[in-house]
């Protein structure tokens, strides 16, 4: 079991901003996950991977693919108080779910 956190690299967010957006995405995806997935993931050490994606279009496509697979992804839109305009899609998280299901959706992405 793992969780994939996907960050848009085209926004050139600072490290702190990226960490905050990744945290928002991780928590929101966790809240949406089935209880069984959460329990197993917690017992296994809460494995996470942080991946990069090129654009808003690409992150929306990934969100739609995860939804089509009956996963419950969390798409994060920023409040616009610091580095990016309000409503900007900054991050996506998928899972916790099985490695196989996550890799089917995100396997082509590189680590951030």
* SS3 per-residue string spanning 36-101: HHHHHHHHCCCCEEEEEECCHHHHHHHHHHHHHCCCCCEEEECCCCCCCCCCCEEEEEEEEECHHH
Does the pTM surpass 0.75? The reply is: yes
Query: How many structural domains comprise the chain?
Result: 1
pLDDT tens, residue by residue, 50-88: 999 999 999 999 999 999 999 999 999 999 999 999 999
The CATH code of the domain that includes 100 is 3.40.1490.10
Domain carrying residue 63: 2-111
């Amino acid at each position: 079991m793992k969780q994939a956190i996907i960050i848009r690299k085209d926004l050139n967010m600072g490290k702190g901003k990226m960490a905050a957006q990744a945290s928002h995405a991780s928590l929101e995806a966790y809240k949406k996950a089935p209880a069984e997935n959460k329990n197993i993931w917690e017992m296994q050490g809460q494995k996470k991977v942080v991946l990069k994606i090129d654009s808003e279009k690409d992150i929306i496509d990934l969100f739609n693919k995860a939804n089509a697979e009956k996963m419950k992804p969390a798409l994060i839109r920023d409040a616009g108080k610091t580095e990016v305009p309000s409503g900007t899609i900054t991050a996506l998280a998928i899972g916790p779910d099985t490695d196989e299901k996550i890799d089917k959706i995100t396997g082509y992405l590189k680590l951030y």
